[in-house]
């Protein structure tokens, strides 16, 4: 089917089934354009917790759709591509976290939303990259564990001088960024500001003029008086950055800033998800209820 025909069919099925499409900023532009809501992981989880729709199509990766299901257990939540996952979310397992908790019962577990439902169920509170600072500041005098992103955790620990251990997980896309890539791009585009997601390593983050979640970076490019940016996060965000600021210039730090899993979803997959009502996310009740507590605490503090 041609793109226009797919858009037509998607819109028809959406109405017929009272469905809503949520798309992360890292999705292909054509999917962001057909979505009812486009945003970062925090915004999309807030939307999922409030929607009146019967069906949520989550164009993103598994942990995002799973989070939507935990927050809206009575809705049908569908992930258009069954295999679309986040490798970082798999780097913390239930068994390892349970073992850690037995050895360190005094540590509060702060869990990045890029994690499985089972890990969230063992955690005290969740955070995303856009509310991590606000939430972690509430716990700044406590003994903490940050799971699973070592880079965001290390950045927070350094910034606020926290007693916080960090899990050795990472995002394979952001973790690969290097100071040399930044200095080369700064030399090539001397008028551009470097902006970066905190999932990058600390030595890269320290070179940035602005650090933020995807939404934070987008807002910065809209509000800043600067006209040119070197973008240190997944390239899908540039679609939205350009839409908001058509006269500004955006350079991706490196072409390798493409999340393979995020880019698995096509418009056709979104259409099939709606038509066939596939692939449904199921979270066992006992896990969902515990994970809900950690997510709900996060939403209340956001």
Interaction site with ligand 13P (CB under 6 A): 40-41, 114, 128-130, 171, 197, 199, 213-214
Residue 31's contacts (CB-CB under 8 Å, 6 or more residues apart) are 23, 59, 265, 266, 267, 270
Residues lying near ligand SF4 in the complex (CB under 6 A) are found at 61, 86-88, 114, 171-173, 199, 234, 259, 261-262
Query: What is the radius of gyration, based on Cα positions, of the chain?
Result: 19
| Between 66 and 261, CB nearer to ligand SF4 | 261
CA distance 241 to 25: 10
- Ramachandran area for residue 200 (φ above 0: left; ψ -120 to 50: alpha; else beta): beta
In the list ligand SF4, ligand 13P, none, the entry touching 40 (Cβ below 5 to 8 angstroms by class) is ligand 13P
CA distance 27 to 40: 11
CB of 222 to ligand SF4, least distance (A): 22
| Between 51 and 115, CB nearer to ligand SF4 | 115
CB of 116 to ligand SF4, least distance (A): 12
In the list ligand SF4, ligand 13P, none, the entry touching 135 (Cβ below 5 to 8 angstroms by class) is none
CB of 144 to ligand 13P, least distance (A): 19
| Between 10 and 152, CB nearer to ligand SF4 | 152
In the list ligand 13P, ligand SF4, none, the entry touching 193 (Cβ below 5 to 8 angstroms by class) is none
Residue 258's contacts (CB-CB under 8 Å, 6 or more residues apart) are 173, 234, 235
- Vertex 53 angle, CA 49 and 56, to 5°: 70
| Between 272 and 299, CB nearer to ligand 13P | 299
| Between 118 and 174, CB nearer to ligand 13P | 174
| Between 14 and 174, CB nearer to ligand SF4 | 174
In the list ligand SF4, ligand 13P, none, the entry touching 23 (Cβ below 5 to 8 angstroms by class) is none
Residues listed for the chain: 302
CB of 199 to ligand 13P, least distance (A): 5
Q: What is the DSSP string of 206-243?
A: TT-SEE--HHHHHHHHHH-S--EEEEES-TTHHHHHHH
In the list ligand 13P, ligand SF4, none, the entry touching 41 (Cβ below 5 to 8 angstroms by class) is ligand 13P
CA distance 202 to 112: 17
Residue 191 CB coordination number (10 Å): 9
CB of 257 to ligand SF4, least distance (A): 9
Residue with tokens 């797919």: 6
CA distance 300 to 302: 6
| Between 128 and 193, CB nearer to ligand 13P | 128
CB of 201 to ligand 13P, least distance (A): 14
């Amino acid at each position: 089917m041609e793109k226009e025909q797919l858009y037509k069919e998607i819109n028809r099925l959406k109405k017929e089934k009272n469905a809503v499409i949520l798309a992360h900023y890292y999705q292909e532009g054509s999917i962001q354009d057909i979505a009812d809501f486009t945003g970062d992981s925090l915004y999309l989880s807030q939307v999922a917790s409030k929607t009146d729709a019967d069906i949520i199509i989550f164009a993103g990766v598994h942990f995002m759709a799973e989070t939507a299901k935990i927050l809206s257990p009575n809705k049908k939540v569908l992930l258009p591509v069954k295999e679309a996952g986040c490798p970082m979310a798999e780097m913390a397992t239930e068994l390892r976290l349970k073992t850690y908790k037995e050895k360190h019962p005094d540590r509060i577990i702060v869990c990045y939303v890029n994690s499985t439902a089972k890990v969230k169920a063992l955690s005290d509170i969740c955070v995303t990259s856009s509310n991590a600072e606000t939430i972690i500041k509430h716990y700044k005098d406590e003994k903490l564990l940050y799971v699973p992103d070592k880079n965001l955790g290390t950045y927070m620990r350094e910034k606020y001088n926290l007693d916080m251990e960090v899990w050795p997980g990472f995002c394979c896309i952001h973790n690969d960024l290097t100071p040399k890539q930044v200095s080369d791009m700064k030399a090539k585009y001397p008028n551009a500001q470097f902006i970066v997601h905190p999932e990058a390593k600390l030595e890269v983050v320290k070179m940035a003029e602005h650090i933020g979640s995807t939404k934070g970076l987008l807002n910065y490019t809209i509000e800043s008086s600067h006209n040119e940016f070197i973008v240190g996060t997944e390239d899908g965000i540039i679609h939205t950055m350009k839409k908001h600021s058509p006269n500004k210039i955006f350079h991706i730090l490196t072409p390798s800033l493409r999340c393979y899993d995020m880019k698995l979803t096509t418009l056709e997959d979104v259409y099939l998800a709606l038509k066939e009502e596939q692939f449904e996310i199921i979270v066992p009740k006992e896990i969902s209820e515990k994970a809900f507590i950690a997510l709900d605490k996060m939403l209340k503090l956001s």
